[in-house]
Amino acid sequence: MGILACYLLATFIVYNNEEGRKICNELKINITNEDEYQFIQKEEIERIIRQASLNPIGKEMKEINTDEIEAALLKNQLIAEAQCYKTPGGMVTLQGDSTQTLAGAIRIDITQRVPILRVIGTEGNFYIDNKGNYMPTSRHFTLYLPVVTGYADKEFVQKELFPFARFLQENKFWNAQIEQIYVRADKEIELIPRVGAHLILLGKLDNFEQKLDNLMLMYQQVFPQVGWNKYEAINLKYKNQVIATRKGE
């Protein structure tokens, strides 16, 4: 090994030893999507770390295991992603001494889960996120979402209803129009719209896109002529048919 290579290796070892001996004097927490969602607060993240006996403050940087901190945070069902890493800090005065030394900091970037449905069903009150995962409600924040009621257990919502929920989320009109999704005992779906006094009988979830396309045609071609409160129910169960029942019939 050449003299230069030996020098660089020795410098690297000394540098890493110095970095490792730095004292952590700051925990920086950044919640990347906190403008849209406030399901979890920074204080809650700090509490999770403390309860896992992973509080980095006052420890040498080399003693801090960032992977363990990430794993502890990801156990929380409100958190989608957690990235923990070491960064330079300022100066810190050692306890019982007037000597100042360079300090380090731990930064944590948190991404909250993004719910697309709120479920009030046979197995309690919960959200389904945009990955199809169960997500608990939060005491800090309530989101305005389509609400699922009726005979809605977790398995049905995650396996059967989730594709429909993703469709609503990605479609600006239907996401705004559908206020409630009622699951009947036979697993047929009834929809309650935000605008209009009619009940939408969707039936089974097969071909739901085509069924809503047919309803959209009625919204565009018929409702402007008769008004949004003329019909009591609109049945989309049957292929390529829209059966509208007027109030009082």
pLDDT tens-digit readout, 47-90: 999 999 999 999 999 999 999 999 999 999 999 999 999 987 65
199 and 186 part of one domain: yes
Task: Kindly provide the b/e burial profile for residues 40-72, where b requires at least 16 CB atoms within 10 angstroms of the residue's own CB.
Answer: beeebbeebbeeeebbbeebebeebebeebbeb
pLDDT digit string, tens, across residues 180-236: 999 999 999 999 999 988 999 999 999 999 999 999 999 999 999 888 888 999 999
Question: What is the pLDDT at residue 94?
Answer: 46
Domain check: are 186 and 215 in the same one? Answer: yes
Are 214 and 95 contained in the same domain? no
> Which residues are registered as beta bridge partners of 95?
none
Q: Are 239 and 207 in contact (CB under 8 A)?
A: yes
Q: Do the domain assignments include residue 119?
A: yes
- Domain of 89: which CATH number? 3.10.20
Report phi then psi at 101, rounded to 5.
Answer: -140, 160
pLDDT at position 181 is 98
Domain count, the chain: 2
Task: Give the β-pairing of 124-129 and 199-203.
Answer: unpaired
The answer to whether residue 218 sits within a structural domain is yes
Domain end position, chosen among 62, 95, 112: 112
Residue 16 domain flag? no
Longest C-alpha distance within the chain, in Å? 97
Q: What's the per-residue H, E or C state across 124-143?
A: EEEEEECCCCEEECCCCCCC
pTM of the predicted model over 0.85: no
Domain range spanning residue 175? 115-246
Co-location of 89 and 121 in the same domain = no
- Residue 191 within any structural domain of the chain: yes
Residues 121 and 242 in one domain: yes
Verify that 105 and 146 share a domain, yes or no: no
Q: What does the block give as tokens for 205?
A: 């979830």
User: In this structure, are 221 and 143 located in the same domain?
Assistant: yes
- Domain end residue (candidates: 112, 145, 173): 112
Provide the CA 153 distance to its chain's centre, in angstroms.
20
Note whether 97 and 148 are same-domain residues: no
- C-alpha to C-alpha distance for 189 and 164, rounded to whole angstroms: 11
51 sits in the region (left: phi over 0; alpha: psi -120 to 50; else beta) called alpha
- 61 and 138, same structural domain? no
Same domain assignment for residues 94 and 121: no
Same domain, 129 and 211: yes
Residue that is last in its domain, among 66, 97, 112: 112
